[in-house]
Chain A
Amino acid sequence: MDFEAELTRRQVIGAGVAVLVAQALPLARAAPAQAAGASYTDALLQAYADTMIPGRKVAATESGAPVDPRAILGSDPRPGAVECDALAIYHDPRIGFDALAPAFLADLALNARGDFLSQDLAGRTATCIRGLDFGNPLRLLWEAAAAVPFVAIAATRTGTTMMGYPGAAPHGYRDFSYRRKLARERTRHGSLS
């Protein structure tokens, strides 16, 4: 199977993360699962989300859920994906990532060559570069797991505020335009003849 042709990040536009999840299901079934406690696996998922979109250290997410103290490295001073409730999206049944998590976490452990949670930024980054390499036959799992932090940023108030985006605009904006001509135009009515 040509994984590069099979998968592009464009697949996760919109709710496409669920596409990735669904496509990766056969891989998940084929891969060995790692037995681990829920809190440990949640910490690993949070650590992975923090590697994708790093953030400041916090004890709780936007919704008040606890953050494992080992998950966030604090490598960026602004809110990151963990604070934006990435873990809740990993567990959202409409996304369905729970079905992939055991296989993904097993491959994460394999590529970490040790305990991912104990690694520093350089170590976690190197692990994820290996996991997301096109040569990794389980890359699809890593892509699906990577899409979730991006959804978290777009779907939460904390995330959009960090982006400088107010989100919903029920009253719109008055200062939306420079209100002057800014270029020469080629057409008279907007369309080419």
Chain B
Amino acid sequence: MAERADVVIAGSGFGGAIAAYRLAEAYVAAGADPHAIVVLERGRRFGHTDFRQSMDVANLSKVYDLVQGQGMQVVTANAVGGGSNLYLAASLRAPTETFERRDRRPDDGPERRMWPAALSRRTLNRYYARAERGLRVRRPTWKQVSKSGGLWAATLNEAGHTCDRVPVAIDAERCVNAKWCHTGCIFGAKNSLITNYLAAAEALGVQVRTLHEVQSVRQSSARPYRYIATVDQLDAETKQSSGSVELECKALVLATGAMGDAPILMRSQLGLPALSSHVGKHLGSNGDHVAAIEFDPQRVHDILGLGRYHAFHKGMPITTMSYDWWAGRRAHDYDGTRFTLQEIFLSTLTNLLYDDGRSPGGDPSWWGVQKKDAIAHWASRIELLAMVEDTNDGTFVAPSPTGGGAVQPNGGPIAFGTFDYTMSEQSLRVREAADAAMARIAATKGLGRFMKLTETRGVYCAHPLGGCRMADSAQLGVVDDSGQVFGYEGLHCFGSSIIPTSLGVNPSLTIAAVAERCADALVARGPSLGLPAPPAGFRPGTPEEIVGPRVIP
């Protein structure tokens, strides 16, 4: 007989952690034990002191999952706390225009608003505010802006553009500006989920089981239990299954992200025959498109008065961005031509991506003597992330036999995605426009050399979205605006898989805000699912901050 729990939550990233915390506080308010809530995480548990500031092969194998599909490579995390361990903590509200978007792939149904009618920037604002409190989001002062972010701001200013400071989920008191967010913050300065929502949920009694990966779901007839999840127990080193268990539950929340939720549902279709035909479709990249600028330190000194710039490696990894190619363009509401330009630190490995920016052009552009010279001037560089209004161009061709949407051949970080990503004309065109804008800014008064992404097909993506998009009907999407799967009461998707379009900003705060809204709906629906009812007047609070052991310089 399957083990029983009230609620099973697959995944411990933003969607899963927020679901766990909100349910747990409702349980406590109702006088029930949150131990009946079980979070299943396929990865291991890392504390701050377990992370390493290293790009060697051993460390990369430990903290990253790299999913290679046809036409898109996705970088994901694989640990308790999900992507929040490795993300760069930029925490922005998506602009109003995002929720009003109507641009889409030509084969993506009738002309319409792409988000559900109930969701807009206005209706999400209260959930954004709640997520900002939970994640302790703060906007850095100009004194806290990194030199690379400051240089981007000054360059834009010189070119006649505006540039804004980016709110971040980073504690400025604990942050020592080491720019090592991307392999996990050893200082406990980044407000990842293991310091707030997830830690607070566990403190209330929620179970978090590591190395447990949900494979499929089927219905149960033993009311109030509705679903049975089949779960593989994974070996920490090989990442292969070492056994299987079943968990029966009253409500099931899939929060394994855009790489996981759709394949789990696709694998479950025999037992869930009423699933929308949109499962596995409309996989997106959040419009990610990267490039770099190498600055001339002397010109930075002479023209901008900022000294000779050699400081790409210092400060927080994201501090400034420009909205000038997004805002104030009312005539372009729905034509898919907007983008934002953000200064970012990806890693030292991105050397490989860019043209050397030197004359003569032509081959070789990304290796050889000229490229070596570009690498030797790395510290005078900034990297830029354009987040463009592309269309969600990916489709899972089939679910992988096990796991999320990928086949994991060994204990390394590599997995092979079972999805295809072929960019639409709009997705290509808007990236070209972003390149042209970045090149023009770089050339301002000869300040820098633009180093273009040397290949234009395919997508490198750290922000996968979609695959189970929310919509107003099963004819257009997989879940409703509360994250409940159409046709299946008590079966939910929270998190990145339900976001229907690219956002124009880093997606974590929007994923969190949508998850907060979905969690409210699940708590309200709880009694009809056999879950405890919080007392009248119950109001969601703010998760306690629990930083835990950390490195103190």
- Chain A CB count within 10 A is highest, among B57, B166, B413, for B57
Contacts of A12 in B (CB 8 A): 349, 352
Across the two chains, which residue of chain A brings its CB closest to B142? A181
Partner of B73, one of A10, A129, A182: A10
- Would you call B334 an interface residue if the criterion is a C-beta within 8 Å of the partner chain's C-beta atoms? no
B95, A164: Cβ atoms closer than 8 Å: no
A10, B326: Cβ atoms closer than 8 Å: no
Contacts of B349 in A (CB 8 A): 12-14, 150-151, 154
B75, A168: Cβ atoms closer than 8 Å: no
Partner of A150, one of B322, B351, B363, B412: B351
Given A9-B366, A13-B66, A153-B375 in contact, is the A178-B306 Cβ separation under 8 Å? Answer: yes
B458, A10: Cβ atoms closer than 8 Å: yes
Across the two chains, which residue of chain B brings its CB closest to A5? B457
- Would you call A23 an interface residue if the criterion is a C-beta within 8 Å of the partner chain's C-beta atoms? yes
Partner of B55, one of A8, A155, A171, A189: A155
Given A9-B353, A16-B73, A151-B349 in contact, is the A94-B96 Cβ separation under 8 Å? Answer: no
- Chain B CB count within 10 A is highest, among A4, A10, A12, A170, for A10
Q: How far is the CB of B294 from chain A (nearest CB, A)?
A: 12
Q: How far is the CB of A95 from chain B (nearest CB, A)?
A: 7
A163, B375: Cβ atoms closer than 8 Å: yes
Across the two chains, which residue of chain B brings its CB closest to A124? B368
Contacts of B313 in A (CB 8 A): 165-166, 169, 173
Contacts of A22 in B (CB 8 A): 409, 414, 416
> Which of A31-39, A46-54, A60-68, A107-115 makes up part of the contact surface?
A46-54
Contact residues of B between 308 and 324, Cβ < 8 Å to A: 310-315, 320, 322-324
Q: How far does the alpha carbon of A51 sit from the alpha carbon of B413 in the complex, in Å?
A: 28
Contacts of A182 in B (CB 8 A): 142, 145, 150-151, 153-154, 157, 163, 306
Partner of A193, one of B95, B143, B416: B95
Give a binary string over A138-163; 1 marks a CB under 8 Å from any B CB, 0 the rest.
00000000110111011100001011
A5, B71: Cβ atoms closer than 8 Å: yes
B352, A51: Cβ atoms closer than 8 Å: no
Contact residues of A between 7 and 21, Cβ < 8 Å to B: 8-16, 18-19
A15, B413: Cβ atoms closer than 8 Å: yes
Q: How far does the alpha carbon of A80 sit from the alpha carbon of B377 in the complex, in Å?
A: 14
- Would you call B162 an interface residue if the criterion is a C-beta within 8 Å of the partner chain's C-beta atoms? yes
Give a binary string over B108-123; 1 marks a CB under 8 Å from any A CB, 0 the rest.
0000000000000100
We find that the number of chain A residues with CB closer than 8 angstroms to chain B is 74
B323, A16: Cβ atoms closer than 8 Å: no
B75, A189: Cβ atoms closer than 8 Å: no
Q: How far does the alpha carbon of A164 sit from the alpha carbon of B379 in the complex, in Å?
A: 6
- Would you call A102 an interface residue if the criterion is a C-beta within 8 Å of the partner chain's C-beta atoms? no
B176, A185: Cβ atoms closer than 8 Å: no
- Chain A CB count within 10 A is highest, among B121, B161, B313, for B313
Given A5-B458, A14-B60, A15-B61 in contact, is the A186-B323 Cβ separation under 8 Å? Answer: yes
B53, A169: Cβ atoms closer than 8 Å: yes
Chain B interface extent, by class = 35 or more
B368, A52: Cβ atoms closer than 8 Å: yes
- Would you call B455 an interface residue if the criterion is a C-beta within 8 Å of the partner chain's C-beta atoms? yes
Give a binary string over B26-67; 1 marks a CB under 8 Å from any A CB, 0 the rest.
000000000000000000000000000111111011001010
Q: How far is the CB of A53 from chain B (nearest CB, A)?
A: 5
Q: How far does the alpha carbon of A21 sit from the alpha carbon of B52 in the complex, in Å?
A: 25
Across the two chains, which residue of chain A brings its CB closest to B313? A165
A185, B372: Cβ atoms closer than 8 Å: no
Give a binary string over A71-100; 1 marks a CB under 8 Å from any B CB, 0 the rest.
000011010100000000100101100000
Contacts of B164 in A (CB 8 A): 185-187, 190
Across the two chains, which residue of chain A brings its CB closest to B509? A191
Partner of A176, one of B58, B92, B177, B376: B177
A170, B375: Cβ atoms closer than 8 Å: no
Q: How far is the CB of B412 from chain A (nearest CB, A)?
A: 6
Across the two chains, which residue of chain A brings its CB closest to B462? A13
A15, B64: Cβ atoms closer than 8 Å: yes
A75, B143: Cβ atoms closer than 8 Å: no
Contacts of A18 in B (CB 8 A): 66, 412-414
Give a binary string over B296-313; 1 marks a CB under 8 Å from any A CB, 0 the rest.
000000000010001111
Contacts of A92 in B (CB 8 A): 57
Q: How far does the alpha carbon of A56 sit from the alpha carbon of B10 in the complex, in Å?
A: 52
- Would you call A125 an interface residue if the criterion is a C-beta within 8 Å of the partner chain's C-beta atoms? yes
A164, B53: Cβ atoms closer than 8 Å: no
A163, B53: Cβ atoms closer than 8 Å: no
Contacts of B372 in A (CB 8 A): 53-55, 76, 78, 80
> Nearest 9 pairs between A and B by C-beta?
A172-B176, A164-B379, A10-B460, A169-B178, A183-B163, A191-B93, A183-B153, A176-B177, A192-B95
Residues of A within 8 A of B (CB): 4-6, 8-16, 18-19, 22-23, 51-55, 75-76, 78, 80, 89, 92, 94-95, 121, 125, 128-129, 132, 146-147, 149-151, 153-155, 160, 162-187, 189-193
Residues of B within 8 A of A (CB): 53-58, 60-61, 64, 66, 68, 70-71, 73, 75, 92-96, 121, 139, 142-147, 150-151, 153-154, 156-157, 161-167, 175-180, 186-187, 306, 310-315, 320, 322-324, 326-327, 346-353, 363-364, 366-369, 371-373, 375-380, 409, 412-414, 416, 453-455, 457-460, 505, 551, 553
